[in-house]
Structure 1
């Protein structure tokens, strides 16, 4: 018995309420932008600066016990991550403890580091601390700039790729959907004040790739149907294409969400922010592929006369492998 999340054949009009769907997107973007301007992002240690202490113990790493031992010190944002390496011995358990920069200091002072070491030795008196490293505000500022450039370059590369593979109207529709996804993700992180670190940048880049994949699948079917039904109205072609790829879109999104929700529930605090960004990104990425990218394409229009000698203008790279 096959599982079907949507009927085998659908004929839904995805543009009958386009004013409402686009209006919802605009509203969420405005709210997210306002939140970003008013309260900003809750930057993690990667972007605020701080100190990283490497621990080594014969006892298994218990993140909850480490956190409980350090909580009375009131050091603010603390990140504890167990390090896995196949070269480690059986009794070599390594963790990285990151402490945010304290008020008025570029890194944790000697007394703070000593206090952390003393607190952790209550768990294991023989615990060792092989290294202590600090990241100052200047380096953190450079990381923020580099992360922003990485996201912008990824979106620019997508614009160029879609322009070559399809036409410029398709490219603008795809990029509008990607910008929509990134802005909404930044907005929800600002609104909820969830810790924003380098792992979230990785999630943003993954969201860009996921959303692009969904959009390209829909646009590829649109291009096929434009040639197949060259007399049909563009709105009808878009509706037909979205309906034909809807089963694939929903199945891909649902199966991805099942894995992400499992990670969110069982994965622990270390990856929870990353997984939350991915869950939100899959939802808004699927939404934007159906309602935003296609609506922009419908608004811009696309050349329909494929019979003229220049019918491939702007689409000369359409058969290039992805």
Structure 2
């Protein structure tokens, strides 16, 4: 039996060698985790993508900065009931005409009877508050809960810069404490190289998520900071699951000489890939529900900030746990130590076997005829028959 088809092209055999290996589609390989996706072997590509993401994020943070909410910067927030005819541009024009300068931001929140238009501006004096309130009442005739046109339908809240500074300081402290505790847990939970890879992946998630917020211009609020801490925990959980599988697949691999640490880690990444996708999709579904119901229908702006950062962070975390953390771990392992020596030994053994007994489409022909088969005559050879006896 030969391992070539009639055209001479090689055919991949199954493990027993008795027949061709079954062909799996993309979705089947994804679902079964057969290790068919070269994640680790193509890690230079994923490193390049990660470098691009990090560069864009850092440049955006350095150049554009963040759109800090009023809770961080201080200022005045004006909220007026919205009607179907009102637009944010109309409200902005009335504000600018009344005070002589434009607000920091104007946005529509909610829908239907719960819809409102919120303006955020620098801290307004009492006289300025009266001017803008009068202008908004004359322009849009807002109605209170009883249905009467009233100035009370417009709510104005002031937040001092001191309060904003305290909120910023507490948010940074909370973020720092979380990162430190996470690093301690990772160092205890995993062996050294896995800890380094997980921490690198954690900072990758943090920088890219913050960079997307800066690039798109999402407003950073205390709810967004809370959401950021939440998705960092989710990303850490995803790393734990993937690294557990890597640890299981690579247990005892240094005592064998058939597969390398990188190949076993790649198999683990493939086996957890579908799980990571499923977990992320299931996690995003309630977030989408939060955005639709809480934000568009009920007009709860705080939940929007929480939902946005969670959605962005979960997608980034799922990507990094498989396509960044695992390749980083393999690169660290193969840089020094017993894994590096074992990988070289496996590759050398394969090279030696390949030289002595290459497995190719024509290997069976190179081995010569099987018993009972006639060999083809060589060019220029005499026809087969009895050997002529006589003097030479």
Match of 1:24 in 2: 49
Deviation at 1:43, TM superposition (A): 1.6
More divergent stretch after superposition (177-186 vs 4-13): 4-13
Is structure 2 residue 267 aligned with structure 1 residue 240? yes
Change in Cα spacing, 1:247 to 1:241, as seen in structure 2 (3 Å) is same
**Cα 1:288/1:48, change in 2 over 3 Å:** same
Cα deviation digits, residues 121-152 of structure 1 (max 9, x gap): 82112463798653223332332232223222
2:237 to 195, 213, 219: 213
Secondary structure in structure 2 of the residue aligned to 1:7: helix
- Give the CA deviation at 1:41: 1.3
- Which residue of the partner structure matches residue 294 of structure 1? 326
Is the CA contact 1:50–1:108 (under 8 Å) kept in the aligned structure 2? yes
Cα distance change, pair 147–136 in 1 and its aligned pair in 2 (3 A): same
Secondary structure in 2 matching 1:158? helix
Are 2:133 and 1:110 aligned?
Answer: no
Q: Which whole-Å CA distance do the structure 1 matches of 2:318 and 2:192 have between them?
A: 22
CA distance in 1, matches of 2:178, 2:280: 22
Q: Is the 8 A contact 1:70 1:116 kept in 2?
A: no
Deviates most, 14-23 or 42-51: 42-51
> Where does residue 141 of structure 2 map in the other structure?
122
The match for 2:190 is 166
Check 1:44–1:64 CA distance in 2 against 1; reply closer, same or farther (3 A cut).
farther
Give the direction of change, closer, same or farther, for the CA distance of 1:109–1:64 in structure 2 (3 Å limit): farther
1:33 to 26, 51, 58: 58
Q: TM-score scaled to structure 2, two decimals?
A: 0.62
Deviation at 1:6, TM superposition (A): 3.2
1:183 aligns with 2:210: no
SS at match of 1:260: helix
On the 8 A contact 2:77/2:156 being kept in 1, the answer is yes
Contact 1:45 1:77 in 2 (8 A): no
1:44-88 C-alpha deviation (Å, 9 max, x unpaired): 212221124689xxxxx6587887574321333256778xxxxxx
Task: Identify the match of residue 46 of structure 1 among 59, 64, 71.
Answer: 71
For structure 2, the 5+ residue unaligned runs are 1-26, 97-102, 144-148, 340-392
Cα distance in 2, alignment partners of residues 283 and 127 from structure 1:
44
Match of 1:104 in 2: none
Of 156-165 and 46-55, more deviation after overlay is shown by 46-55
1:304 Cα deviation (Å)? 7.4
Cα offset, 1:21, TM superposition: 0.7
The runs of at least 4 consecutive aligned structure 1 residues that moved more than 6 Å come to: 63-67, 79-82, 302-305
| Distance change >3 Å, CA 9–CA 18, structure 1 → 2 | closer
Further displaced range: 191-200 or 202-211? 191-200
8 Å contact 2:142–2:154 — kept in the other structure? no
Q: Which of 221, 224, 246 is equivalent to 2:248?
A: 224
Q: Secondary structure at the match of 2:33?
A: coil
1:7 has 2:26 as partner: no
Q: Name the counterpart of 1:99.
A: 120
Any idea what SS the aligned residue of 2:120 has? strand
Given that 2:40 and 2:330 are in contact with CA atoms closer than 8 Å, whether structure 1 keeps it comes out as no
- Write the distance in 2 (CA, Å) between the matches of 1:13 and 1:179: 25
Q: 2: CA distance between counterparts of 1:100 and 1:108?
A: 8
SS at match of 1:289: helix
CA distance in 2, matches of 1:4, 1:285: 24
Cα RMSD, aligned residues only: 3.5
Looking at structure 1, the residues matched to 85 and 127 of structure 2 have their Cα atoms a distance apart, in angstroms, of 22
- Cα distance in 1 for partners of 2:126, 2:86 equals 20
Structure of greater Rg: 2
Residues 5 and 251 of structure 1 are in contact (CA less than 8 Å); yes or no, is this contact kept in structure 2? no
* Residue of structure 1 equivalent to 2:281: 254
Question: 1:280, 1:145 → 2: CA distance?
Answer: 24
Question: Deviations along 1:229-275, whole A, 9 cap, x unmatched?
Answer: 45352212211222222221111112223343454456337244443
